[in-house]
């Protein structure tokens, strides 16, 4: 099921010269011995949007968790294989908190922390020791603007973040992720609880952000991957079936018929 290690991989234009931001070799993840993902090999290049599509239970979220070393917080989760971030094995990062700080994460259901809108966005800078009020104001405004939320919340920065609407909360979590000034932004099915208009606004935000950072976009909307991703990987029941340029995959240039079937909506 897994992609042969030796199979030629299609790369983004100019990818041969770009260095991989994330390099995954023989990644396998299991929970209490039950495999969730097996034999994943892929590279994610700087400033690309890398889409991951696939039905439920295909291992997409586990993949993101492994990248962020969340296995540290879950005794049942075992990760083997190698993940290099900026050319260094993430297991070798002595300061795993700094690694996580460089990776922003947006969850499927918006997790507005039970504090004010302002504090939600200021949390990450505060965690890393920023106490200067003016500096924090700056960061909060900048991140909320970039997440296309500023105009809606600028008058109620001091109200509870969890009182915002679902779509606003999701943009709040994006602003919070941006406040980390990440090099890598991972979005896990961010549009699942968001209306179509907000989804489009967030997609526009992502298109701009790709100039500054690498983005991994896990999505169950195949058309969203087509709209945004440069390259897309198809995960199915715990393995990576195929990786290719998004346009190629969506125009039928696939190596595995299951990819075509999934994209065409014949299953999944």
Which of 92/158 has CB closer to another protein?
158
State the minimum distance, in angstroms, from the CB of residue 267 to another protein.
Answer: 30
Would you list the DSSP string of 140-186? HHHHHHHTT-HHHHTT-TTSBGGGS-HHHHHHHHHHHHHTT--SEEE
Ramachandran angles phi, psi of 129, nearest 5°: 100, 5
Query: Is 91 exposed, middle or buried, given 0-12, 13-18 or 19+ CB atoms closer than 10 A?
Result: exposed
Sites of contact with another protein (CB under 8 A): 68, 70, 73, 75, 97-105, 107, 109, 111, 113-116, 119, 123-124, 126-128, 158, 160, 173, 176-177, 180
Q: Measure the CA angle with vertex 250, ends 46 and 62; round to 5°.
A: 55
**In the complex, what is the shortest distance from the CB of residue 104 to another protein, in angstroms, rounded to a whole number?**
8
**Considering beta carbons, is residue 135 or 247 the nearer one to another protein?**
135
Q: Which one, 176 or 231, has the nearer CB to another protein?
A: 176
- Considering beta carbons, is residue 12 or 177 the nearer one to another protein? 177
Closest CA to 206 of 39, 50, 60: 50
């Amino acid at each position: 099921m897994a992609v042969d290690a030796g199979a030629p991989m299609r790369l983004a234009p100019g990818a041969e010269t770009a260095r991989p931001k994330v390099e995954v070799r023989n990644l396998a993840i299991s929970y209490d011995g039950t495999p969730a993902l097996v034999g994943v090999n892929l590279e994610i290049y700087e400033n690309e949007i890398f889409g991951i599509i696939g039905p439920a239970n295909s291992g997409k979220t586990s993949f993101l968790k492994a990248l962020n070393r969340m296995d540290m917080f879950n005794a049942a989760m075992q990760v083997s294989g190698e993940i290099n971030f900026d050319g260094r094995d993430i297991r070798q990062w002595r300061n795993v908190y700094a690694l996580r700080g460089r990776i922003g994460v947006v969850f499927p259901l918006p997790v507005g922390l039970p504090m004010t809108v302002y504090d939600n966005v200021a949390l990450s800078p505060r965690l890393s020791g920023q106490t200067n009020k003016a500096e924090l104001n700056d960061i909060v405004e900048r991140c909320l603007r970039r997440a296309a939320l500023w105009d809606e919340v600028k008058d109620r920065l001091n109200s509870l973040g969890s009182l915002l609407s679902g779509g606003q909360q999701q943009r709040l979590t994006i602003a919070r992720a941006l406040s980390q000034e990440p090099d890598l932004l991972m979005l896990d099915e961010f549009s699942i609880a968001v209306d179509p208009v907000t989804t489009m606004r967030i997609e526009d935000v992502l298109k701009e952000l790709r100039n500054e950072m690498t983005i991994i976009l896990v999505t169950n909307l195949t058309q969203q991957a087509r709209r945004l991703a440069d390259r897309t990987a198809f995960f199915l029941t715990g393995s990576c079936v195929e990786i290719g340029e998004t346009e190629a995959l969506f125009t039928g240039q696939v190596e595995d018929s299951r990819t075509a079937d999934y994209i065409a909506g014949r299953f999944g």
